[in-house]
């Protein structure tokens, strides 16, 4: 079957795109952490189950019931404290070691597993489970994965803090978002891993890579999609590898290393 996910020809094509790229960007979603044991959002057993999105992932939900929201996020913090990066995170960190600062991971995830796998250039566009933010004094604090109460207080002013997470209807952190857009505008290849590509503006970065053919800008880049199944991003994908990221990415990176060694 020509389009079998683990067809060596497709793995090779993806690796060749990377080997001929000057700059690489990666857009990751919950699927990249699934094999570590972090639930995805939109699977039938996904995180939203038992919770309405508007109750736990909107500023309105937080204003109405901060206790419920903190119980939800504390459960996720406790889960993340028990997991480790998987071969997909490590494979991406190996690629970063090759490209250096010409490699950017743009992650929608809030679990910190890319950094735990050794990645340095990570843009967390939806925030982090590890940080709290104070609506009163603006202090953002790294609280790690320590156990927090269901009504945690600001370390500076003592008022109630919220998770430093981007909820629906909120804008993304402007400086980080700016860098993510630049990475998408400048990359020769974008790898899209484990995202359903339905949440904007992050999903819009995929279109940026394909549409940027205006005069003066770089020509369209290549898009490699790694997912269990086709998604809203698949129409933009030049290569689609539909199998677990923890299987696919190490194969692509192995082949990439071979191609780079052969070219020397
Ligand atoms: C595997 C795998 C394995 C599984 N290997 N793969 C334009 C059009 C329409 C709507 C909008 C728009 N622009 C803005 C909006 C509104 C909204 C939005 O996008 N809504 C859509 C849902 C319709 N966006 C926003 O509100 C954003 N803000 C904004 O736009 O500000 C400007 C503004 C302000 C005011 C008014 C209007 C505009 C903010 C979005 C914040 C999203 N936050 C969340 C929750 C954070 C809380 C938290 O983490 O606790 O972030 S939503 C949730 O979805 C989370 C994720 O980061 C995000 C993306 O999900 P992801 O990662 O794709 O996960 P899944 O579960 O959907 O997919 C997993 C995939 O993995 C699947 O495809 C599996 O097959 C795959 N997989 N195992 C490989 N082993
Ligand atoms: Zn404060």
Summarize pLDDT for 82-102 with one digit per residue, the tens.
999 999 999 999 999 999 999
Residues 76 and 191: beta-carbon distance below 8 Å: no
Residues with CB under 5 A from ligand 2 (ion): 134, 136-137, 139, 154, 156-157
Tokens coding 239: 């290569």
Report CA-CA distances (Å) from 197 to 11, 151, 167: 22, 33, 16
Q: What is the pLDDT of residue 2?
A: 43
**Where residue 212 falls among pLDDT bands split at 50, 70, 90?**
confident
Mean pLDDT to the nearest integer, 235-247: 97
Cα 198–24–87 angle (5° rounding)? Answer: 75
Q: Which of 5, 26, 27, 29 to mutate to test the pocket of ligand 1 (most atoms within 8 A of CB)?
A: 29
Tokens coding 171: 């804008």
Residue with CA nearest ligand 1 atom 77: 31
Cα 64–38–128 angle (5° rounding)? Answer: 55
Q: Which of 5, 26, 31 to mutate to test the pocket of ligand 1 (most atoms within 8 A of CB)?
A: 31
Please check the confidence at residue 1 and state whether its pLDDT lies above 70: no
Q: What whole-number distance in Å separates Cα of residue 130 and Cα of residue 27?
A: 20
Q: In what order do the strands lie in the sheet with 140-142?
A: 140-142, 127-133, 162-165
Ligand 2 centre to CA of 131 (Å) is 13
Q: What is the pTM of this model?
A: 0.95
Please check the confidence at residue 3 and state whether its pLDDT lies above 80: no
Length of the chain: 264
179's CB contacts (< 8 A; 6+ apart) are 104, 123
Tokens coding 38: 């972090």
Mean pLDDT to the nearest integer, 217-224: 84
Question: Ligand 1: which atom is nearest the Cα of residue 244?
Answer: 5
SS3 112: coil
Distance separating the N- and C-terminal Cα atoms of the chain: 33
């Amino acid at each position: 079957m020509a389009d079998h996910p683990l067809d060596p020809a497709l793995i090779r094509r993806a690796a060749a795109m990377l080997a001929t790229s000057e700059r690489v960007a990666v857009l990751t979603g919950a699927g990249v952490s699934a094999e570590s044991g972090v639930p995805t959002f939109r699977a039938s057993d996904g995180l939203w189950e038992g919770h309405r999105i508007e109750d736990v992932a909107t500023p309105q939900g937080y204003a109405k019931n901060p206790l419920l929201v903190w119980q939800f996020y504390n459960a996720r913090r406790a889960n993340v404290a028990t997991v480790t990066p998987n071969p997909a995170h490590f494979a991406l960190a190996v690629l970063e070691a090759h490209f250096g600062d010409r490699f950017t991971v743009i992650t929608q995830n809030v679990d910190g597993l890319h950094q735990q796998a050794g990645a340095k250039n990570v843009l967390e566009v939806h925030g982090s489970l590890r940080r709290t933010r104070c609506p009163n004094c603006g202090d953002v604090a790294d609280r790690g994965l320590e156990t927090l109460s269901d009504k945690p207080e600001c370390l500076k002013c003592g008022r109630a803090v919220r998770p430093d997470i981007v909820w629906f209807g909120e804008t993304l952190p402007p400086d980080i978002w700016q860098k993510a857009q630049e990475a998408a505008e400048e990359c020769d290849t974008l790898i899209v891993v484990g995202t359903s590509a339905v949440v904007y503006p992050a999903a819009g970065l995929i279109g940026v890579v394909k549409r940027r053919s205006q005069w003066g800008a770089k020509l369209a880049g290549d898009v490699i999609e790694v997912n269990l199944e086709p998604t809203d991003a698949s129409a933009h994908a030049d290569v689609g590898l539909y199998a677990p990221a923890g299987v696919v990415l190490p194969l692509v990176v192995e082949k990439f290393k071979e191609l780079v060694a052969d070219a020397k």
